[in-house]
Amino acid sequence: MRSPIPDYLDEILDKHRQDRSGAPADYIPALAAADPEKLAICISTLDGIEYASGDSDYAFTIQSMSKPFVYGMALERLGMSAVLDRVGVEPTGEAFNELSLDETSGKPLNPMINAGAITVHSLLGPSGSSAAERAEIVRAGLSEFAGRELTIDGSVAESERAGAYRNIAIANMLRSYDVITDDPDEAVNGYIDQCSVLVTVADLALMAATLAGGGINPKTGRQVLSPRVNRQVLGVMMTCGMYDVAGDWMTEVGVPAKSGVSGGVFGVLPGQLGISVYSPRLDSHGSSVRGTNIFHTLSDDMGLHIMEAPEPARSIIRRDRRFVGANGEMVRICSLQGLIQWSGAENVLRTMDEPDSTTTVFVLDLRRVYSINDVARRLFTEALARMKNAGVRVVLMDPENLLECAGPGSPLPDVKLIDSLKPLKGLKRLRNARLLR
């Protein structure tokens, strides 16, 4: 069977292809010369599958879409506090190239505007690093997100340098307030190289999927960002990624996203997928007209809004059975399934909590569970420990070691682990036993 997803993406592009409003960025000659009819989309899953349509092999410069990734690189290299001391995380409500700093702290308000991005770029590498050295750090780092070696488009970089008066003014402002210590021209040169890295929509979708997967690249399996840094990047993207329309974007589209003046837009749906779109005609905010409209359509059609909560985890408990053993033991077998997070774990714990229970052996069957997050794992571990302390014999069917109870240093070192119900011989179902699920 041919998947309907590529056909759907074709339909989405056809729907928006006739929109020719806006224009390529005219203040950068190399971008002004881009073919305005180019249009592409790619969706990348967390297991590395890509669905693409349109001009998906066409390469364009990453521009401001580099900012979230480089911000993550700086956080990993320097630590959270060191970066937050230099760049804030508050939305500005201003254009991306505004000459402004926080009135109280004197630092850029966030890393998604140019003042913050230039500052973040200047933090990479040892003190006194050249623009070329920092640009190489960025190129190599972005390549890890993309899962392949990326290159810098020198012609676009030179085109940007020829008219970089605004960014030079921003860098001089930063230097005058001691936000950066580099020569302003050198800082801008490195930042322009950062923006001139070439990508395709497939690259961007995979980079977005890396953020969606907690910092793990779906194709290479490399942990590019730690979970805590990854969360920080997504949080700033959600509130600041779309500049002065970030509020409208999050209420209407509901996908943490970042745009670039080359015409790209990428979005991240945590735990699910990464999406990227390319079309070079821009709106008054510097974002792709077709790209932002396509995201609106995708959000409505596919239910991507991050505030659309999933169905409550009613089916976590697959079966809850009670038996009497050959020696008279009261055995309870609770079989779970699916992905278990806080709400699902709470539901299970509520079921397990029976003050007047006569259970002497409790079997937790996780054979059909494929994921347990950290919160649910801690809840289950504590609940099972309390059962043991109450004199109940706890048995786990956990072949994938999801509760991490196998091996030295485990939270429940003396819990019995079994692969099947065969060790529990002589079980007879209790007459009139209650079947909860």
Please, what is the angle between helix 114-123 and helix 165-176, to 10°?
70
Give per-residue pLDDT as tens, 72-109.
999 999 999 999 999 999 998 788 888 889 888 889 99
Position 339 in a domain: yes
Residue 382 above 60 pLDDT? yes
- In angstroms, the Cα distances linking 129 to 29, 111, 173 are 29, 20, 20
CATH number for 423? 3.30.750.24
Mean model confidence pLDDT for the chain = 89
Residue 433 above 50 pLDDT? no
Q: Are residues 21 and 107 in the same domain?
A: yes
Of the listed 53, 67, 87, 236, which one is catalytic? Answer: 67
Of the listed 64, 66, 129, 276, which one is catalytic? Answer: 64
Q: Are residues 163 and 114 in the same domain?
A: yes
Q: Are residues 268 and 380 in the same domain?
A: no
Report the alpha-carbon distance of residue 120 to residue 124 in Å, rounded.
7
Q: Are residues 113 and 249 in the same domain?
A: yes
Of the listed 53, 243, 255, 278, which one is catalytic? Answer: 243
297: closest CA among 16, 10, 6, 7? 16
Q: Catalytic: 165? A: no
With contact defined as beta carbons under 8 Å apart, do 58 and 260 qualify? Answer: no
Report the alpha-carbon distance of residue 147 to residue 358 in Å, rounded.
55
Q: Catalytic: 191? A: yes
Q: Are residues 119 and 207 in the same domain?
A: yes
Report the alpha-carbon distance of residue 100 to residue 11 in Å, rounded.
42
Residue 381 above 70 pLDDT? yes
- In angstroms, the Cα distances linking 93 to 97, 152, 168, 248 are 12, 31, 22, 11
With contact defined as beta carbons under 8 Å apart, do 395 and 416 qualify? Answer: yes
Q: Are residues 369 and 259 in the same domain?
A: no
Report the alpha-carbon distance of residue 90 to residue 62 in Å, rounded.
23
Q: Catalytic: 122? A: no
Q: Are residues 371 and 257 in the same domain?
A: no
In which region does residue 310 sit, left (phi positive, over 0), alpha (psi from -120 to 50) or beta (all else)?
Answer: beta
78: closest CA among 123, 112, 48, 47? 123
Position 308 in a domain: no
Of the listed 120, 129, 179, 191, which one is catalytic? Answer: 191
Please, what is the angle between helix 374-389 and helix 342-352, to 10°?
20
Which pLDDT does position 282 carry in this prediction?
96
Q: Which of 250, 269, 302 is the last residue of a domain?
A: 302
Report the alpha-carbon distance of residue 238 to residue 240 in Å, rounded.
6
Residue length, the chain?
437
Average pLDDT over residues 338-354: 82
Give me the amino acid identity at 265: V
319: closest CA among 340, 348, 344, 345? 348
- Cβ neighbours of residue 126 under 8 Å, at least 6 residues apart? none
Q: Are residues 271 and 349 in the same domain?
A: no
Counted domains in the chain: 2
Give per-residue pLDDT as tens, 48-58.
899 999 999 99
With contact defined as beta carbons under 8 Å apart, do 142 and 153 qualify? Answer: no
27 vs 352, higher pLDDT: 27
338 strand-pairing partners = 369
Average pLDDT over residues 384-398: 87
Lookup: tokens for 317: 């408990």
Q: Are residues 33 and 160 in the same domain?
A: yes
Which pLDDT does position 308 carry in this prediction?
81
Its pTM stands at 0.82
Position 163 in a domain: yes
Place of tokens 């950062």: 194
Position 434 in a domain: no
- In angstroms, the Cα distances linking 274 to 24, 212, 213 are 24, 6, 9
Of the listed 261, 348, 363, 415, which one is catalytic? Answer: 261
Q: Are residues 283 and 412 in the same domain?
A: no
Give me the amino acid identity at 222: R
Q: Which of 261, 276, 302 is the last residue of a domain?
A: 302
Q: Which SS3 state, helix, strand or coil, does residue 377 take? A: helix
416 strand-pairing partners = 395
Q: Catalytic: 120? A: no
Confidence class for position 132, pLDDT limits 50, 70, 90: very high
- Cβ neighbours of residue 342 under 8 Å, at least 6 residues apart? 373, 375, 376, 379
Q: Which DSSP string corresponds to 68-135?
A: HHHHHHHHHHH-HHHHHTTS-----SS-TT-----TTT-S-S-TTSHHHHHHHHHHSSSTT--HHHHH
Which pLDDT does position 420 carry in this prediction?
67
CATH number for 197? 3.40.710.10
- In angstroms, the Cα distances linking 280 to 14, 89, 238, 347 are 16, 28, 23, 49
Which pLDDT does position 118 carry in this prediction?
97
Report the alpha-carbon distance of residue 49 to residue 46 in Å, rounded.
7
Position 436 in a domain: no
Give per-residue pLDDT as tens, 71-80.
999 999 999 9
Q: Which of 251, 269, 302 is the last residue of a domain?
A: 302
Report the alpha-carbon distance of residue 430 to residue 355 in Å, rounded.
19
Which pLDDT does position 426 carry in this prediction?
61
Residue 432 above 60 pLDDT? no
Position 312 in a domain: no
Position 136 in a domain: yes
Give me the amino acid identity at 170: I
Position 435 in a domain: no
Q: How many CB atoms lie within 10 A of CB 402?
A: 18
Which pLDDT does position 346 carry in this prediction?
82
Q: Are residues 169 and 260 in the same domain?
A: yes
Residues spanned by the domain of 398:
317-429
Q: Catalytic: 159? A: no
Q: Are residues 61 and 159 in the same domain?
A: yes
